[in-house]
Amino acid sequence: MKAVFIVYNQAQTEKVEYLFDKLDIRGFTRWTDLTGRGSVDGPPHMGTHTWPEVNTARLAVMEDETVPAVLEGIKKLDEENKEVGIRAFVWNVEDSY
């Protein structure tokens, strides 16, 4: 099993939800109104007057074979609009209950 953590501009929320529905990923935890700055490029998302945008994050645990389709979907969303921002990170899940 893998844990996939996705951080994205809140403007991408509906598209990420659509991707999860399309791939039949039911379980996830979502955090909203997050602030931060990407490590490569793009403007900060700080929820301030100067940098008004904010992020959302989503964590889902899934079977290993589902991960490539998720990453491909995230890559496509990023390529559609580089300025908005979306990143995904994958960890191994050692155990669960």
**pLDDT tens digits for 20-29?**
999 999 999 9
pLDDT bracket for residue 84 (50, 70, 90): confident
Question: Is-contact 58 29, C-beta < 8 A?
Answer: yes
Q: Span 50-66, mean pLDDT?
A: 96
Residue 28 CA to residue 61 CA, distance in Å, equals 7
Supply the angle between the helices 13-22 and 67-80 in degrees, to the nearest 10.
150
Question: Is-contact 90 2, C-beta < 8 A?
Answer: yes
